[in-house]
Amino acid sequence: MQTPGFFRNAQQWFFRTPERALNQAYEAAQMIEAIEREYFGGNPISARYGNYGDSAMDYFQAELKKYLNLIKVRMAEFRTSRTVIRASDPRVMEVDISPSEADEMAVNVVDRQAVLFRKLRLIDAVLARYASLDDSPARVITLTEGANGSLAAAQSTQVLRAKAEQSQDQANASKDNREGLSERVNVLPRSILRTVDRIRQDLDPNAEEEVMREFRTSKGRTTAAIRFLLLLIIVPLLTHQFTKTFLVGSVVDHFRQGRQADVFLNIEMEEEALHELQRFEERLRFEVLIGKAPPLSELNIERQVREKATEIEEEYRQTSANAIKNIFADLAAVAAFMLLLITRKQDVANLKAFMDEMIYGLSDSAKAFIIILFTDIFVGFHSPHGWEVLLEGFSRHFGFPANREFIFLFIATFPVVLNTVFKYWIFRYLNRISPSAVATYKNMNE
């Protein structure tokens, strides 16, 4: 009973093969253009246009080859499927149109043809920019050297050089077409050019589709950045808890079961325990003297003090064990965090772009407020007290004694270095990107 429907779906899937292949090739071309705009200033993906390291360039080249291979495979599928469909069914383009729908169908056919040609134009432009990857001079010389000698090699090199220059000219032309009037060097003020550019974009018949495509791309990047940010927070926390509870915890508890294990890891913990026991005994005697507690003999007081000492010993024994566990658990959490940063480079780039867009998209007063807030917290007049509490908390977390000399030396040097970094960032980057924000910051700071 379901056979006709199955064959109908299969036929529809077969007839949509050209459109599906073209869409996949077009998306791959868009991904290449997105990488060019994001990391190479709209230029081809090459070390000549980007100041990146070897690892980053290897990653970009791998992505480029992947998308180029996908474009070539899908375009071959597109051409083959269109040929097969036309040969197998000449009536595939014949559509029954009623008189009432003639105008609407004619507009749809024209729009589809325009979209088709626009996609093909973008794919051809991308393939032209990277045509030299398939026909490198070394490869052509090797193939022709044995047949025609050095003359053929020289001719092939000249042909390839001319082809590369032509591809670069086409890429520059397509880039100029994509640029707005406000991005070019003109005599007129940029505000007028931006207004004209905006009107031209509003009157563009493909403006709505372009806006929707950019919105989907921005939405995908934002979702991926937030998801990766949550991973950077959740994965280290879960790694820390799992390592401390199931891996390191049982091992540390096993080796510290006996009474021979040290109760106190440093002298400060022992002094805190003695001070706590002394306060308990003094409070107990004071309550007896003022009548708040029933009269107790020296033997009963000593018995209660001994019970409190045993309780304090067990408490500090557990605190020492937790400090040892925290060392290994924190190392595992840092390793998980670094592993995420190393293995998810594309997500790191998306998160960096998302943070830059969010920060630089704020108003000038908001930027100035955030800068003043961070500088006052970390390098301000009251920041030494906060650094002191933070360093003492870290020392207690790992079971180390709080070295006062090291803490004072750190407070005397690190905030100064951090303040210098803040000022250099404001002078070098923020002053170039948003001078009005720097002016607002100076006015608010005064």
Tens of pLDDT, residue by residue over 326-367, are 999 999 999 999 999 999 888 888 888 888 888 877 888 888
pLDDT at 397: 85
Give the list of residues 6+ apart from residue 35 with CB closer than 8 angstroms, or none. Answer: 45, 60, 63, 64
Is there a contact between 243 and 333 (Cβ–Cβ < 8 Å)?
A: yes
Tell me the CB-side half-sphere exposure of residue 240, using CA atoms within 13 A. 15
Q: How far apart are CA 125 and CA 170, in angstroms?
A: 7
**Residue 259: pLDDT band by 50, 70, 90 thresholds?**
low
Tens of pLDDT, residue by residue over 366-389, are 888 888 888 888 887 778 888 888
pLDDT at 205: 73
Indicate if the pLDDT at residue 30 is higher than 80. Answer: yes
pLDDT at 236: 94
pLDDT at 343: 92
pLDDT at 105: 42
Tens of pLDDT, residue by residue over 402-433, are 888 889 999 889 988 988 998 888 888 778 77
Q: What does DSSP assign to residue 132?
A: G
Tell me the CB-side half-sphere exposure of residue 64, using CA atoms within 13 A. 22
What is the phi-psi region of residue 358: left when phi exceeds 0, alpha when psi lies from -120 to 50, beta otherwise?
alpha
Q: How far apart are CA 265 and CA 317, in angstroms?
A: 9
Residue predicted with more confidence, 179 or 234: 234
Indicate if the pLDDT at residue 239 is higher than 90. Answer: yes
Indicate if the pLDDT at residue 23 is higher than 60. Answer: yes
Selection from 203, 247, 439, 226 nearest residue 347 by Cα: 226
Q: What is the mean pLDDT of residues 134-153?
A: 38
- Report CA dihedral (346, 350, 351, 355) to the nearest 10 degrees: 150
**Residue 151: pLDDT band by 50, 70, 90 thresholds?**
very low
Q: Which phi and psi angles does 45 have, rounded to 5°?
A: -75, 100
Q: How far apart are CA 337 and CA 235, in angstroms?
A: 7
Q: How far apart are CA 345 and CA 11, in angstroms?
A: 42
Give the list of residues 6+ apart from residue 255 with CB closer than 8 angstroms, or none. Answer: 261
Is there a contact between 213 and 207 (Cβ–Cβ < 8 Å)?
A: no
Tens of pLDDT, residue by residue over 33-74, are 888 888 887 788 887 777 777 777 878 888 888 889 889 888
Indicate if the pLDDT at residue 144 is higher than 60. Answer: no
Indicate if the pLDDT at residue 298 is higher than 70. Answer: yes
Q: Calculate what percentage of the chain has a pLDDT beyond 70.
A: 74
Q: Terminus-to-terminus CA distance in the chain, angstroms?
A: 82
Q: Please give the angle made by the CA atoms of 285, 286 and 291, to the nearest 5 degrees.
A: 100
pLDDT at 6: 61
- From residue 192, how far is each of 184, 204, 207, 321 by CA, in Å? 13, 18, 20, 69
pLDDT at 242: 92
pLDDT at 99: 46
Residue located via tokens 């169908």:
105
pLDDT at 377: 87
| Amino acid letter for position 251 | V
Indicate if the pLDDT at residue 318 is higher than 90. Answer: no
Q: How many CB atoms lie within 10 A of CB 305?
A: 16
Indicate if the pLDDT at residue 434 is higher than 90. Answer: no
